[in-house]
Structure 1
């Protein structure tokens, strides 16, 4: 049985000694359940690595937060006790501020724009920014487009959300975004949202179609308004301690296998989004498009000014916007 204590003990020893791990697979963590597209994406990468190295390198995946929360496992990965980790961008924001950029509200004009940006030079800049902090960024996985849902009425313009109590992740960026819309941000664990909606502790929340469906939030909040305000990706990283012990050949194999796993994950993600949307709409949920998205995005100037503070971040924003304009 592998647990956090075991990882700290064996991983720390190997990180110091620089050896002792050749006879075991690389350990990979994911907070999502085993059939989630990110987990299946890493599984695809693992199969490619094993095949391309003739079984010399193997990956064992611990899904469903078996090894702890994303923040806990990220610490283990930096420390070298955990080899690979699929995490949300939010825990990385305090490590490398370049990772804040893809989470900026209304940055991406579409899923295609987001994917082109992360597959291109802006994405590579963000991945490279992790190396000085003990992590090697391998690839980005999708996390969908987030939209608002609530218990009261459809949201068509900012005034419709004004004054609502909206659950957000424990993130200063998300708090600032909701405040800019005139609503009251309420940081809350995802597992508490359903009860919060039922009891009226909160009026609404924001998330993608699969999370809205799988967490059963659509049963309590039946108005889903397609603001698509954030399209932040998720990211697969390797501990730099482990990366540095790989041969140049194996480093190249891991890097290419990670990239080759992205279209596999995206195909699974797109299918899951379509299935979740169909299930939710069949239940009677009222979903509405936003006629004037600029009415929302124009309120974000102060939020961007607060979180885009370095020249590198500004160049990333400019490069991403240029890609959107070219599309």
Structure 2
């Protein structure tokens, strides 16, 4: 707690002054490494805003978790110490419940459907929901789709998960999903996962291809089943305490730069996926392309449970399904 308080105070002292001469500086913090496709998208935002404003608005980026975890940076955004950040919609759902809908298994039919929803009325409506908590969404970034990978047993159908311990995030929806498919959901720190798979504490896990490779989990996992059960996006956010001080023209510049960066980031992400899959294949990982409908049918109880617990979300879910 002392460390968090120190980081917050230091950030406030260093970043509260955001005007340098005639240039308005936006401080942007995130937790990802500079090689990540999302960081490359953020660089596009930085470049686009500088160009659109003719240098009147610039972005200073603090990557690699320099200013804290996703949750800590969100709190810095709320008090106005940082202007912009990128977080997972899963993290954001702790602040804005509507983001939970985006994590429901197979809520999106495919990648194009996901982009159509996020860039349409439903997606924009969810982005706006955070404004009451000083967290205004600008755009979504592609964070890929999560799939199962295992060390010793191939998963070709949901029944193959029976008896397997699968590491999941400490998130009830993820736990419910693996349980519904027949596996034994095992919440665990991501940093402990490599050793846990290696020692047989868990049989496997689930994540997107770039994470599967960058974590080196492909070294100890022989099978990767591309069932793509969930596609939780990242979100580029601006604090309303900063946003509300911008002129109408400055707001247009920021939004247009964010939109441009989102399009570029999707290409960076796909390039990263293609590269990661090639690395995994060359390392001897068997890439399995299962019948996804089998996994979707097994996970339907997750959606049913969610609607029972959150009936107020039914309209949003129906809008997504009907788009």
TM-score range, shorter chain: over 0.9
**Cα distance in structure 1, aligned partners of 2:56 and 2:112:** 36
**Cα distance in structure 2, aligned partners of 1:261 and 1:202:** 38
Match of 1:301 in 2: 300
**Cα distance in structure 1, aligned partners of 2:311 and 2:257:** 32
1:262-295 Cα shifts (integer Å, max 9, x gaps) = 111011111111011011111110111112x232
Match of 1:21 in 2: 18
Match of 2:9 in 1: 5
1:34-80 Cα shifts (integer Å, max 9, x gaps) = 12111111111111111221212111111111111111111111222
Match of 2:36 in 1: 36
Is the Cα–Cα contact under 8 Å of residues 3 and 66 in structure 1 kept in the other structure?
Answer: no
Deviation at 1:312, TM superposition (A): 5.4
**Cα distance in structure 2, aligned partners of 1:310 and 1:186:** 24
Match of 1:241 in 2: 241
**Cα distance in structure 2, aligned partners of 1:161 and 1:39:** 34
* SS of residue matched to 1:139: strand
Deviation at 1:310, TM superposition (A): 4.6
Deviation at 1:318, TM superposition (A): 1.6
* SS of residue matched to 2:299: helix
Is the Cα–Cα contact under 8 Å of residues 88 and 234 in structure 2 kept in the other structure?
Answer: yes
Deviation at 1:4, TM superposition (A): 4.1
Is the Cα–Cα contact under 8 Å of residues 28 and 82 in structure 1 kept in the other structure?
Answer: yes
Deviation at 1:167, TM superposition (A): 0.8
**Cα distance in structure 2, aligned partners of 1:177 and 1:310:** 17
* SS of residue matched to 2:57: coil
Q: CA RMSD in A?
A: 1.7
Is the Cα–Cα contact under 8 Å of residues 135 and 239 in structure 1 kept in the other structure?
Answer: yes
**Cα distance in structure 2, aligned partners of 1:112 and 1:150:** 28
Match of 2:151 in 1: 151
Is the Cα–Cα contact under 8 Å of residues 25 and 59 in structure 2 kept in the other structure?
Answer: yes
1:165-184 alignment, distance < 5 Å: 165-184=165-184
Scaled by the length of structure 2, the TM-score of the pair is: 0.92
1:1-327 alignment, distance < 5 Å: 4-9=8-13, 14=16, 20-23=17-20, 25-291=25-291, 293-308=292-307, 309-310=309-310, 313-323=313-323
**Cα distance in structure 1, aligned partners of 2:250 and 2:172:** 38
**Cα distance in structure 1, aligned partners of 2:294 and 2:110:** 17
Query: Structure 1 residues 193-202 or 50-59, which shifts more?
Result: 50-59
1:187-236 Cα shifts (integer Å, max 9, x gaps) = 12222111111011111000011111111101111111111001111000
Is the Cα–Cα contact under 8 Å of residues 98 and 312 in structure 1 kept in the other structure?
Answer: no
Unaligned runs of 5+ residues in structure 1 are 15-19
Match of 2:3 in 1: none
**Cα distance in structure 1, aligned partners of 2:305 and 2:78:** 27
Deviation at 1:165, TM superposition (A): 1.0
Scaled by the length of structure 1, the TM-score of the pair is: 0.91
